Structure 1
Amino acid sequence: MIAAIPVARLFRTREEGGDRVAFVELFFDLVFVFAVTQLSHHVIEHLTPLGVLEGVVMLVAVWWLWIYTTWVTNWMNPQKGPVRWMLITMMLGGLVLSTAIPEAFGDRAAQFAIAYLVMQVGRTVFVAISYAVCDDRTNAMNLVRIALWFVLSAPFWIAGALLGGEAQLPLWAAALAVELLGPAFRYWMPRLGVSPPETWQVAGGHMAERAGLFMIIALGESIIITGTLFSRSELTTPSVLAFLAAFVSTILFWLLYFSHGAEHGARFIQASRNTGIIARLTYTYLHMVLVAGIVLVAVGDELVLAHPDDPIDGTTLVIVLAAPALYLLGNLLFKRSIGRPWLRSHLLGMAALTAMYLLAPLIPGLTALAVTWIANGVLALVVLIDELVWPHEEEAVSDEEEAEFDLEGFDRRDAEEQGASGVGQ
């Protein structure tokens, strides 16, 4: 298949328009709309600390699949037949994996683990072969190292699926830990060494746009849950108010990320000389926190819509307040990583949500609906402060300074040495 067209054309050019998001990438994302919905339902149906941890493990796996594929399509041209068919094949694998999520810690553990490994290893080998055929030995060896790190994690995935029970969660968590540590070690392998810095540069605009699109996917899933539940609910004043509260929270989440984050992040990474470091920290790792917050708020919306006027229980209280707090934390870290100061509005918002959690048990008859609107009020205040403050304080950092900004935890010498030593796929 690779020989059917000039192999060099399998990879993107960096000419104007060469890094735009292709329609097939959006088509590929459809599977992940389903995956995120399945994750929300899993947490709802297993609303215990163990069930939440299982959901976290699967969420990281789903995100890891998606972001690695995003790195690949940042380098390769999805408009070309072999790359397009690779993505379509990945869609099939993603559908198999997504259908296993409800019973991934039960009868379908093997289905989830095998689908995950086949997708990660298969896609990586495809890219390695593509580079090899193009006589790009450096990048080919880079992908070989990544494939070998997936091979290192494979025994943990398989053992967890086969053993099941109490052993499954720690084994799968160990598998993901291996994969998450791979970039930190620059995918070091005996005799093969580490990935050289030049192999990690990315088209910043494409990476930022793809991350923003996944945020829309996750927010869309929240809307799907809200609409579905409301269509099945009795039309009462509490149910209408709960429906409106869920819709308002989705809008506020969108404003927090897209008003002063998404476009600024795109400009920041495009202006940087070290796009790989930014892509790793900002778009590969920190966005996991943002997506987790959105998934959790969808769970909270479902709980509130089911019993809007009942006195709030401890579990619902934690989820309804933890979701916006986690999302604020993710936005705080995301915006800091793209050159913004530590946003006091976000810190104050998290403090207010924490205070509400501590005070809620002291308020008799407090309903889930009331807590949701209070949380929305906190988020609205944060958005309002950002709208008033941003043009004066937050924009004090010029575009030129942004390009020179050293990411937290990296000095300039390390940035120059490691280049784009981030997660590559």
Structure 2
Amino acid sequence: MVTPRRTRFESLSEGATVTTLELFFDLVFVFALTRVTDWMAEDSSAEAVLRGVLILVVMWWSWVAYSWLGNVAKADEGLIRLGMFVAMAAVFVGAITIPEAFNDLPGGLSGPVVFAVAYFCVRAVHLAMYWVCSRGDAQLRAQIVRVVPAAVLGTVLLLVASQTEGWVQTALWAAAIIGDYVGTAVAGASWRLNSASHFAERHGLIIIVALGESIVSIGIGVAELPISWPIIVAGVLGLAVAGALWWIYFDVVTLRAEHALAEAGGERQIRMARGGYTYLHLPMVIGIILMSLGLKKVLLYIGGGEGHTIADPLYGIPLAALYGGAVLYLFAHVGFTWYVLRTANPVRLVVGAVLLAVMPLVAGLPAIGTLGFLAAVLSALVAYEVHRYREVRQHVRHVGPA
């Protein structure tokens, strides 16, 4: 007996919400983000941070592929549910392999090879599930066929990179990522977006996941240190920084962006979703994770961990991660706002430029002073925007996006 088509997948409808299985999938991504942050914190060299960012990009591509799939068919129905669990297993294997993604540890399997194979499985399952969902849609199937070379190129280059080391390995990773991203971009915009609200919600939730990692970094950074007033103050300041980033994203812009995405149609909507969400949300997530690395180091300094004292300044890679991560987030959010809404926000650009300019100056402050200045600047930005755009804000939040 042939299995009825309805049991293989169920199309998503406009206005649908994120499923619990997708939230479950995100928990694996939370673990991956934590592993990347911890791995970068152990070394904190420029090379380690660069490689950490490359890992983040690969993991992001693994996550974002299923945000598109889950917008075509319900993630918790039919074959798609099975595919999600298989993909989760592959992402989890990749996450536990992160410390060996570049340099294999003695004994056991080859870490770089395992990571590359796990990524291949994630992409293969994604494309297979998309093929199932595209039954009867010749245009979508043609789009899937066009994107296969990019997926194959990315995984092959990661496998080749697993047999190399040093700068050659890093360059091959970069080439794999660029090939995958560019190949997907030039393959066309004939994808399907069944629910703008679901798509926007998925990406909003992943920002929450990344911000949650920043909170975890604050807690883990002092987990084994005795509680003290400096730790309490620094913890609250770190929470203020994370809260400001939340406010910047969720207070107004995300509501207007979701409305604009729903109003768009055809290829314009697909390009808006791909450019504004798939591509421009990535630097936001990277910025938050880099900031998490900086927060983790600040709390260690303040708590007297790793031989530091409360008077020690934050400098070098940890300082660049803390301030640079916040700046990257601000700039990426400005880009997202412009791409989706065609609205410029020069104030946020100015604040980002100021943070970059003052980095050499705050490097001479104790770590808690460096964190306090960042919290003060971001909080002032939020306060200014609440006052400056209070009428627009009131309308968007309580009447409807304009």
Q: Which residue of 1 is the match for residue 305 of structure 2?
A: none
**Correspondent of 1:223 among 209, 215, 223:** 215
Q: Which amino acid aligns with 1:93?
A: A
SS at match of 1:375: helix
**What is the CA distance between 1:231 and its match in structure 2?**
3.2
Deviations 1:376-395 (A, max 9, x none): 11101111111112245789
Counterparts in 2 of 1:12 and 1:371: CA distance versus 1, 3 Å: same
Corresponding position: 1:27 with 2:28: no
Alpha-carbon contact 1:290-1:327 (below 8 Å) kept: yes
Structural mapping, 1:360-399, within 5 Å: 360=362, 363=364, 366-392=365-391
Contact 1:329–1:346, Cα closer than 8 Å, also in 2? yes
Q: Deviations over 1:173-228 (max 9, x none)?
A: 1011111102331x2xxxxxxx4x54444421111000001011111111122223
Query: 2:298 is matched with which residue?
Result: 304
Residue 338 of structure 1 aligns with which residue?
340
How big is the shift at 1:146? Answer: 1.8
Match 2:316 to one of 297, 308, 314: 314
Shift of 1:340: 5.1
Measure, in 1, the Cα distance between the counterparts of 2:21 and 2:185.
Answer: 31
Letter in 2 for 1:169: T
Please report how far the alpha carbon of residue 355 of structure 1 lies from its aligned counterpart in structure 2 after TM superposition.
2.6
2:273 is aligned, of 267, 272, 279, to 279
Structure having greater relative contact order (Cα 8 Å, sep ≥ 6) = 1
1:323 aligns to what? 325
Question: CA 1:356/1:116 → structure 2, altered by over 3 Å: closer, same or farther?
Answer: same
Partner of 1:127: 130
Q: Which residue of structure 2 aligns with residue 156 of structure 1?
A: 157
Q: Tell me which residue corresponds to 1:114.
A: 117
Change (3 A) 1:259 1:396: closer
What is the number of equivalent residue pairs in this alignment?
Answer: 382
Tell me the distance in 2 between the aligned counterparts of 1:326 and 1:213.
19
Structure 2 vs 1, CA of residues 390 and 28 (structure 1 numbering), >3 Å: closer, same or farther? same
Check 1:314–1:153 CA distance in 2 against 1; reply closer, same or farther (3 A cut): closer
Q: In the alignment, which residue of structure 2 is the partner of 1:354?
A: 356
Cα distance in 2 for partners of 1:227, 1:168 equals 34
Q: Which one of the candidate residues 237, 261, 274 is aligned to 2:229?
A: 237
Contact residue 140 and residue 192 of structure 2 kept, 8 A: no
- Deviation of the 1:253 alpha carbon: 1.3
Q: Following the alignment from structure 1 to structure 2, what is the Cα–Cα distance between the partners of residues 184 and 92?
A: 27
Aligned residue identity for 1:359: L
Q: Which deviates more from structure 2 when the two are superposed, residues 264-273 or residues 226-235?
A: 226-235
CA contact (8 A) 1:202 1:275 kept: no
What residue identity is the alignment partner of 1:183? T
Gap runs ≥5 in structure 2? 105-110, 303-309
Aligned equivalents of 2:20 and 2:3: distance in 1? 22
Aligned-partner residue type, residue 215 of structure 1? I
Give the CA deviation at 1:236: 2.1
Q: Secondary structure at the match of 1:338?
A: helix
Q: Percent identity?
A: 29
State which of 50, 63, 66 in structure 1 corresponds to 2:63: 66
1:85-100 → structure 2 map (5 Å cutoff): 85-100=82-97
Amino acid at match of 2:276: T
- Cα RMSD over matched residues? 2.3
One-letter amino acid of the counterpart of residue 374, structure 1: F
Residue 74 of structure 1 and its aligned partner are, at CA, apart by 0.6
SS at match of 2:25: helix
- In 2, distance between residues paired with 1:281 and 1:69? 16
For the residues of structure 1 that align with 2:12 and 2:350, how far apart are their CA atoms? 44
Preserved CA contact (<8 Å) 1:125 1:147: no
- 2:150–2:184 CA contact under 8 A, matched in 1: no
Aligned residue number for residue 36 of structure 1 = 33
Moved over 6 A (4+): 393-397
Q: Which amino acid aligns with 2:351?
A: G
What amino acid is the match of 1:223?
I
